[in-house]
Structure 1
């Protein structure tokens, strides 16, 4: 029986590339989710074993209905890619001459953070209802960014949303691995996607630093395999330890980025309690 994938933000960019990569095998039935009906139907029609569902990841009820429809049709979900995201192009530091400054808006937080949390929450529910035989091979991957690993003055709100996803991945990964779910965060540098096709970015990032899309899909494929992985620093991670990871992709390389070092015993004790360790 084919494994079932669900990809948010699946109608373009990294989401669509991963859907296409999975569709080239006979082992996956792929479901892509997006808010643009026309673009989604066009994307699904161009690939085999791919179905499009329209939903806004900011709308929990819409997203939940899609998860439920897919699960009821297939009886399982094996891979959820919480990939939907948006960058901001507004000058966060712009000065307001008089009066109260305008509302900066929360759309990017709603999409990048709330959308990913809704997706992950629903994934957890439907993974638990999937066949017992899929335990240990279930995968939840969240798309973060190099901007989630390092400060980004160009887009500080975007960067903060991507930092949040790494914190979330590290917070839930150990607990969900006990249920046979690998949770990891993908942290690419600049990939040529619709997010990049904006003058504000093309004027900052030279084209030679763009990451080939097949490098990104290759890392996703390795994460899904459950096999041991060796990054380009030579760090080897066993398959059963590939969870709660932030995986940075740069050029044609990838690197496991460790969580910050704990420097004293008191902090170590506090962190152990925070993680439920005795």
Structure 2
């Protein structure tokens, strides 16, 4: 039976590349979501078994209606790629010349990268649970974070904060959702050639030889969807039953599983267990 994928930010960049890779397998009905009708229609027309839906991830009602339309076609949902995002390198350090109240900062990057991702995740949970029982364990939610979600980014601190938040969300919700047969993971690519980076200023900061090949990103996502054991660039091996709640840093020509920080005293693991599971011991 054909599986159903929903990809936000699917009309270009990483989202479109993953849509293309899935559509070529012939095993997926791919649904790409974006805000630009013309771009989305053109993107979907270039791929087999792909449909475009115009929606704004910042608008919950709009996004929820789109999820419902997609689900009602095949009465199932197998993969949600929480990918929509913008770079958002506004100058958050700007100094004003007078002593009055400063202008309101532009936090649209938070609305898209974080709020939109949380809306998407919330809706994905609902429709995964309405999918056939046989799909449990093979339901996937993959978030696009960033190297800027693993390491600080002074160039774009608001952007970096949203990407850190996504990793926190994956690690916090992943164990609980795995009980519902939903695998939640995050990819954290380095610099990838996408429309938001294709200008001279970025190339002066990040020479192309440092960029991550788009094919590596799509291959990593498809490997996550395969539900099989994966081995990273340092030889760390993660079995199928443990393939959830993970952050994968994609860099160079490989990927690396990034673990949570170590505990440094006896109190920390007890505190964490209480935070995660509502009890002191697991």
TM-score by length of 1: 0.98
Structure 2 counterpart of 1:130: 131
Structure 1, unmatched stretches of 5+, are none
- What is the rounded CA distance, in whole Å, between the counterparts of 2:266 and 2:199 in structure 1? 47
Aligned residue for 2:88, secondary structure, equals: coil
Measured on the aligned residues, the alpha-carbon RMSD in Å equals: 0.9
- What is the rounded CA distance, in whole Å, between the counterparts of 2:24 and 2:181 in structure 1? 26
**Match runs of 1:133-144 below 5 Å:** 133-144=134-145
Aligned residue for 2:255, secondary structure, equals: strand
Structure 2 counterpart of 1:47: 47
Structure 1 counterpart of 2:263: 262
Runs (4 or more) in structure 1 with deviation over 4 Å come to none
Structure 2, unmatched stretches of 5+, are none
Shift of 1:131: 0.1
- What is the rounded CA distance, in whole Å, between the counterparts of 1:93 and 1:59 in structure 2? 29
Shift of 1:204: 1.0
- What is the rounded CA distance, in whole Å, between the counterparts of 2:181 and 2:241 in structure 1? 10
- 8 Å contact from structure 2 (residues 82, 141) kept in 1: yes
- What is the rounded CA distance, in whole Å, between the counterparts of 1:14 and 1:159 in structure 2? 18
The C-alpha deviation readout for 1:110-155, integer Å capped at 9, x for no partner, is 0000000000000000000000000000000000000000000111
The C-alpha deviation readout for 1:70-93, integer Å capped at 9, x for no partner, is 111110000000000001132222
Structure 1 counterpart of 2:219: 218
Shift of 1:8: 0.1
Task: Count matched residues.
Answer: 278
- 8 Å contact from structure 1 (residues 89, 200) kept in 2: no
Shift of 1:196: 0.6
Structure 2 counterpart of 1:196: 197
Structure 1 counterpart of 2:76: 76
Shift of 1:200: 3.6
User: Cα–Cα, structure 1 residues 199 and 96, in superposed 2: closer, same or farther, change >3 Å?
Assistant: farther
Structure 1 counterpart of 2:4: 4
